[in-house]
Amino acid sequence: MKVAEYIRSELQDDGIEILTPIYRRILDEAVAQCEDGAFTASRYFLAHTDLEISKLAADMMSTKYQLSKYFADADDRAVKQTTLSEDAQEAENEARKKEKEREQLERWIVHDIFTLKNAYIKHKIDEVNKQIREFQADEEKVMELLRERMRLDEIKRLLSKELGERIVTGIGK
């Protein structure tokens, strides 16, 4: 499963939609392009016809967001030629390093998905808090909204635990 497909799957499983149109469009296009075995996200989005998308891609491709050289372009990798024993040792070291970096990338992806889910839940909590203020005169509606906020607070607590965040709750912000 490609990263874009994994992200889409994780968000869909939790009923989360990307609220920012440009990011939603980028994810939709990335998932659609995953069918093409030659798809390289950086090339595709840097050369995108929508200038806003290509600019965003360029910003994301800055050094701050660069992946390891092992993931940047699979075709550019080559093992240096030395003696046979050195070649084998170097290849083994490269394979171990690549595996460590792949594991680190997987942790980053999972962490970033949890961060996105946490932001989405915080947004939903803010919406519910706003509705509670709007419907103060309707006790039944307020009780329903309070139950929803409790459910969202529990989800936020679980996400915060996964992210290693401290949990600070506020009533009615």
pLDDT at 42: 87
Is 0.75 surpassed by the pTM of this model? no
pLDDT at 111: 87
pLDDT at 34: 87
Mean per-residue pLDDT pooled into runs of 10, the chain (173 residues): 88 89 94 86 92 91 58 44 58 80 83 89 95 94 96 92 68 49
Provide the token pair at 173: 């912000």
pLDDT at 169: 54
Cβ neighbours of residue 69 closer than 8 Å, sequence gap 6 or more? 76, 77
Look at residues 33, 26, 45 and name the one whose alpha carbon lies nearest to residue 2. Answer: 33
The answer to whether the beta carbons of residues 38 and 76 sit under 8 Å apart is no
pLDDT at 28: 94
